[in-house]
Structure 1
Amino acid sequence: MENKYIIGVDEGSQSAKVIIFDLEGNVVCEGRQPLRPMDLPEPGIVEHPDDDFWDAIISAGNKAMDKFPGKKEEIIGMGLCTIRFCRCFLKEDGSLAQPALSWMDERVSKAYEHVNDDVKYVTTSSGYITHRFTGNFNDTAANYQGMWPIDTDTWEWTDDEEYFKSINIPREMLFNLQMPGTILGYITEEAANATGFPAGIPVIATGNDKAVEALGSGTLSEKTALVSLGTYICSMVHGHDNPKGTEKFWTNFANTPNNYLYESFGIRRGMWTVSWFKNLLGDDIVNKANDLGISPEEYLNREAEDVPAGSHGLMTVLDWLAPSHEPYKKGIMIGFDGRHTRAHMYRSILEGIAMTIKNCADDMCEELGIELKDIVVSGGGSNSELFMQIFADVFGLPARRNVVNGSASLGAAISVAVALDEYDSYENAIEKMVKIRDVFEPLSDNVGTYKSMNDGVYKHITSCTDEILKKSFPVFK
């Protein structure tokens, strides 16, 4: 076969993306479908309506296949990546017994409660979508983070019966676990008819969405951190050990078998806050951007480029979604004076994101005993040259972005290429399939400004404001 192509499926919190790659990592075509707004029937309950996970993949898949220039028989496999920390309840036939729980739903951080007799299986989003594609009750072990009865050393269901009982999911309700890079099954005729994908091609196990993104960014080195710009923003580095009881980071499964991904604490509504601010500005920004033939985000970036590093003392704390153990926390902008414009506010949000992640990454690296040499920034926000320069200046390190900056789909494709022996290692696949777009070097003057601002002021804001917010919480909650 002269041409070979791979389907990478990436279903996140906000959309489903289906991207078809060649073996050099080039994007051949793609389809995207936004997910529907989540249902919020009461505090703590956050559900994906109806069968939105699968419906969005169907739509995105058909859009991609409509653009595919090759022959279906030239597609050799599909890699599946879905959002982590979700929980899906299935009937005996594998269909949904009730709406899927978002990672933001409080129930996913608690033991399972069997309140619906239709539920025969409890699984992740990847387990559910794997079943829709293959008909099998198989799932990748590398997407079981959080409240699941899994042994993180063996990547198998735990033998600790007390731990198993504490999660409260009987063994017969759990899927079969497989390692990343193995074949979960093959696309059925029914799934092929729904999505437009070729029937019979293998579906390859990947990992949780952050791990797949890290693989697709090419960051296998322990000294290169990935900054993932999404609804949730964090930094990550790869490692071989499975440290437990850590204080400043989490240890997750990597997308490569028997390796781990260390993940710093992060921002729960990261790029969401950027969109929130843009939407607050209304049609004025949209119309001005349209007149120039650019996006509203690019219009704001151009305005903010004229604002000096530090935004004339305006600082933003990104607590727009409080964690459950600190419900009093709120987003803050502090330091206004008469110089400040919307461009200052916008730049301050970007700077707040970069400084927060820098501090979280520093805490993680100190605990791990490592020192970073560079960072890779992925996600739509990395399209902003201003944002990339801010990251380089705040971290004081070179900041790289790749040609494919939404790297989860590429990570899924790399998994397929290695699993099907198109490349003999993940390292060789990355060398061939991950392409660097450009590198932003830190500007020394800005590095000094941000270091003084961060170390002297920004790190200490919440120690002063938390006490006020604790008092306001019972009044305004």
Structure 2
Amino acid sequence: MALLTKTPYLLGIDVGTTSAKLIVIDAQGQIIASAAPTYEVQNPRPLWSESKPQDWWQAVVMGIKLIEAKFGIDLKNIRGIGLAGQMHGLVALGREGEVVRPAILWNDSRAIAQCAGITELMGAQKLLEYTGNPSLPGFTAPKLAWMREREPEAYAKTAHVLLPKDYIRYLLSDVLATDVTDASGTGVFDVAKRAWSKTMQEAYGLPGHVWPEAFESPTACAKVSAEAAKITGLAEGTPIAAGAGDQAAAAIGCGIIQEGLASLSLGTSGVIFAHSNHFRVEPEGRLHAFCHAVPGCWQLMGVVLSAAGSYQWFRSVVVGGHESYAALDQAANNIPAGSEGLFFLPYLSGERAPHNDPLARGAFIGLSLRHTLGHMARSVLEGVSYALKDSVELVEALGIKLQNIMITGGGTNSALWRQILADTLVRTLHTTSTADGGSFGAALLGGVAAQIYTDVYDACNQTLNPQAAASAGINFKAYADLYPIYRSLYPALRPTFETLGHLHLNQ
């Protein structure tokens, strides 16, 4: 029997790399229902990462149906919808809204040559001036430029470019739109001015009309269409917020709405996300400078491309999937801090902060016959933690003292990993009642769009109650001593990474 109530519900949808995470909350932030249907990522060639947008839509529809059937939710009580999703993905649509080719994802590195070309043309400092960021292969515009050069027929059919979450909005509403946080990661958006950059579009030789209008994240920019209402069971006319990229949405879901606060996300990628009251740029472009989902504010973001993804890879490939994460954590917990001289570089998909190097690769360094599976597991957790510390140091070098760090994402379910992070960062880490802030933050943005809350600050104040999750312990000194050694490894291996990378590119 459906839950018949006049209490307004809010739906948050997070289009992740491998699953669509949906939650329903009430106005007080209580999670009423959730679902997370999965889909596949394809890697047809080295450096490539693709997904079918149609699979995302099928997963979202399935998730809505599961919420209705399993939890007895009356979908007509959902008063607002917010969208979040993996950033940077290129969704190319034809004139009739058809998908032209599989989406090229955020962790795809095929557009290295296009990034080098635009950097040579514009100059690295001009890129920072116009977009707040260097040109990176994961960004959207370089991938569209790659399409123009390598897939001219598909490029000629492309009439619209969307980001992953925006494709879901399009099918829910027939509206082509994005938000300022997601637009910030395309490479053709003026982050300081919060508007598309005609200069960068012309520099890439890309048409301006393919990019959708960019709204502030809480704006009600669309409504559920009659057709989508029939397919999903949602009420026709339900407002849909512009939404946010996954990290900005997760930051809202953690209450990162004032300077001095930061979030640490441990999903497939790992992210340090710091709120900034004004536009700041890291001088070497080692942090992303994006618009925040809080109107009129910005974010500084350091990205580790393979964070929990490194642990997933380790369990799947090295361990063969035979051990649970809990068993691996237990084995790692029996190993002393520093893994007895074993280090892990988590650059399995290349790396962003602080290296901006798509050719960087993962490595175990210091392996010996004495090292066990537990040593290797712990070194993976430590290597990702060191990589996140790189970003914390870059943020604070820009004059933002990080007083509180909120943690979110599936990796933070590990008590051992939380403790290693607290020891490495020498911080007390906090959490909220939801481990996945992206869909929760999206739901809050949907609540602002539906006028359930007056603004983002009101939404966070009404729903969030942070709790301490881990504090620095006795191992902080060991990690402080080992961190400089970790920092020395990438420079030593960079020439080898470059040689190996170009071998793949020439295949």
Give the alignment partner of residue 424 of structure 1, picking from 439, 454, 465: 454
Return the alpha-carbon distance in structure 1 between the equivalents of residues 242 and 358 of structure 2.
Answer: 36
Return the alpha-carbon distance in structure 1 between the equivalents of residues 55 and 270 of structure 2.
Answer: 24
Give the alignment partner of residue 364 of structure 1, picking from 390, 395, 400: 395
1:63 alignment partner AA: L
Return the alpha-carbon distance in structure 1 between the equivalents of residues 499 and 98 of structure 2.
Answer: 46
2:257 pairs with 1:220: yes
Give the alignment partner of residue 37 of structure 1, picking from 41, 45, 48: 41
Check conservation: 2:187, 2:200, Cα contact below 8 A: no
2:118 pairs with 1:97: no
Check conservation: 2:177, 2:242, Cα contact below 8 A: no
2:29 alignment partner AA: G
1:32 alignment partner AA: A
Check conservation: 1:147, 1:167, Cα contact below 8 A: no
Return the alpha-carbon distance in structure 2 between the equivalents of residues 88 and 468 of structure 1.
Answer: 34
Check conservation: 1:127, 1:175, Cα contact below 8 A: no
Quote the residue 1:153 is aligned against. 192
Quote the residue 1:88 is aligned against. 91
Percent identity reads: 24
Quote the residue 1:60 is aligned against. 63
Check conservation: 2:80, 2:446, Cα contact below 8 A: yes
Alignment of 1:80-229 (within 5 A): 80-105=83-108, 106-107=110-111, 108-110=140-142, 112=145, 113=148, 115-116=153-154, 117-158=156-197, 160=198, 162-229=199-266
Question: Offset of 1:360 from its aligned partner?
Answer: 2.1
Please state whether the residue corresponding to 1:163 is helix, strand or coil.
helix
Return the alpha-carbon distance in structure 2 between the equivalents of residues 211 and 78 of structure 1.
Answer: 16
Return the alpha-carbon distance in structure 2 between the equivalents of residues 149 and 164 of structure 1.
Answer: 6
Once the two structures are superposed, what CA deviation does each residue of 1:13-37 show, in whole Å capped at 9, x if it has no partner?
1110111111111111111111223
Return the alpha-carbon distance in structure 2 between the equivalents of residues 98 and 335 of structure 1.
Answer: 43
Quote the residue 1:313 is aligned against. 341
Quote the residue 2:377 is aligned against. 346
Question: Offset of 1:327 from its aligned partner?
Answer: 5.6
Check conservation: 2:251, 2:437, Cα contact below 8 A: yes
Query: Which one is further off, 144-153 or 16-25?
Result: 144-153
Could you say if the C-alpha distance between residues 334 and 205 of structure 1 is closer, same or farther in structure 2, counting changes exceeding 3 Å? Answer: same
Quote the residue 1:302 is aligned against. 330
Question: Offset of 1:148 from its aligned partner?
Answer: 4.8
Quote the residue 1:273 is aligned against. 310
Once the two structures are superposed, what CA deviation does each residue of 1:208-267 show, in whole Å capped at 9, x if it has no partner?
111111111112232222111122212110112123463231201111112111012x32
Could you say if the C-alpha distance between residues 473 and 32 of structure 1 is closer, same or farther in structure 2, counting changes exceeding 3 Å? Answer: closer
TM-score (norm 1): 0.89
1:49 alignment partner AA: K
Query: Which one is further off, 231-240 or 168-177?
Result: 168-177
1:231 alignment partner AA: T
Could you say if the C-alpha distance between residues 166 and 474 of structure 1 is closer, same or farther in structure 2, counting changes exceeding 3 Å? Answer: closer
Could you say if the C-alpha distance between residues 334 and 168 of structure 1 is closer, same or farther in structure 2, counting changes exceeding 3 Å? Answer: same
Return the alpha-carbon distance in structure 1 between the equivalents of residues 497 and 215 of structure 2.
Answer: 46
Question: Offset of 1:284 from its aligned partner?
Answer: 4.0
Could you say if the C-alpha distance between residues 215 and 389 of structure 1 is closer, same or farther in structure 2, counting changes exceeding 3 Å? Answer: same
Quote the residue 1:73 is aligned against. 76
Question: Offset of 1:474 from its aligned partner?
Answer: 6.4
2:391 pairs with 1:388: no
1:436 alignment partner AA: P
Return the alpha-carbon distance in structure 1 between the equivalents of residues 218 and 501 of structure 2.
Answer: 47
1:225 alignment partner AA: A
1:257 alignment partner AA: P
Check conservation: 2:67, 2:73, Cα contact below 8 A: no
Quote the residue 2:129 is aligned against. none
1:51 alignment partner AA: Q
Return the alpha-carbon distance in structure 2 between the equivalents of residues 424 and 22 of structure 1.
Answer: 15
Quote the residue 2:291 is aligned against. 253
Please state whether the residue corresponding to 1:181 is helix, strand or coil.
coil
Return the alpha-carbon distance in structure 1 between the equivalents of residues 460 and 433 of structure 2.
Answer: 13
Could you say if the C-alpha distance between residues 269 and 109 of structure 1 is closer, same or farther in structure 2, counting changes exceeding 3 Å? Answer: farther
2:453 pairs with 1:450: no
Question: Offset of 1:437 from its aligned partner?
Answer: 4.6
Question: Offset of 1:184 from its aligned partner?
Answer: 1.7
Quote the residue 2:8 is aligned against. 4
Return the alpha-carbon distance in structure 1 between the equivalents of residues 171 and 482 of structure 2.
Answer: 51
Please state whether the residue corresponding to 1:63 is helix, strand or coil.
helix
Check conservation: 1:150, 1:156, Cα contact below 8 A: yes
Question: Offset of 1:406 from its aligned partner?
Answer: 0.6
User: Which runs of 5 or more structure 1 residues have no equivalent in the other structure?
Assistant: 286-295
Please state whether the residue corresponding to 2:36 is helix, strand or coil.
strand
Could you say if the C-alpha distance between residues 300 and 186 of structure 1 is closer, same or farther in structure 2, counting changes exceeding 3 Å? Answer: same
1:352 alignment partner AA: G
Quote the residue 2:132 is aligned against. none
Could you say if the C-alpha distance between residues 328 and 413 of structure 1 is closer, same or farther in structure 2, counting changes exceeding 3 Å? Answer: closer
Check conservation: 2:185, 2:290, Cα contact below 8 A: no
Query: Which one is further off, 7-16 or 214-223?
Result: 214-223
Question: Offset of 1:50 from its aligned partner?
Answer: 6.1
Return the alpha-carbon distance in structure 2 between the equivalents of residues 476 and 85 of structure 1.
Answer: 23
Question: Offset of 1:171 from its aligned partner?
Answer: 3.3
Check conservation: 1:382, 1:401, Cα contact below 8 A: no
Q: CA RMSD in A?
A: 2.4
Paired positions, count: 460
Please state whether the residue corresponding to 1:458 is helix, strand or coil.
helix
Once the two structures are superposed, what CA deviation does each residue of 1:114-153 show, in whole Å capped at 9, x if it has no partner?
6334322122223322111111223223311344543323
Could you say if the C-alpha distance between residues 168 and 469 of structure 1 is closer, same or farther in structure 2, counting changes exceeding 3 Å? Answer: closer
Check conservation: 2:10, 2:443, Cα contact below 8 A: yes
Query: Which one is further off, 53-62 or 41-50?
Result: 41-50
Question: Offset of 1:269 from its aligned partner?
Answer: 1.6
Return the alpha-carbon distance in structure 2 between the equivalents of residues 170 and 416 of structure 1.
Answer: 31
Return the alpha-carbon distance in structure 2 between the equivalents of residues 230 and 76 of structure 1.
Answer: 29
Check conservation: 1:207, 1:253, Cα contact below 8 A: no
Question: Offset of 1:363 from its aligned partner?
Answer: 1.9
Return the alpha-carbon distance in structure 2 between the equivalents of residues 98 and 197 of structure 1.
Answer: 29
Check conservation: 2:218, 2:456, Cα contact below 8 A: no
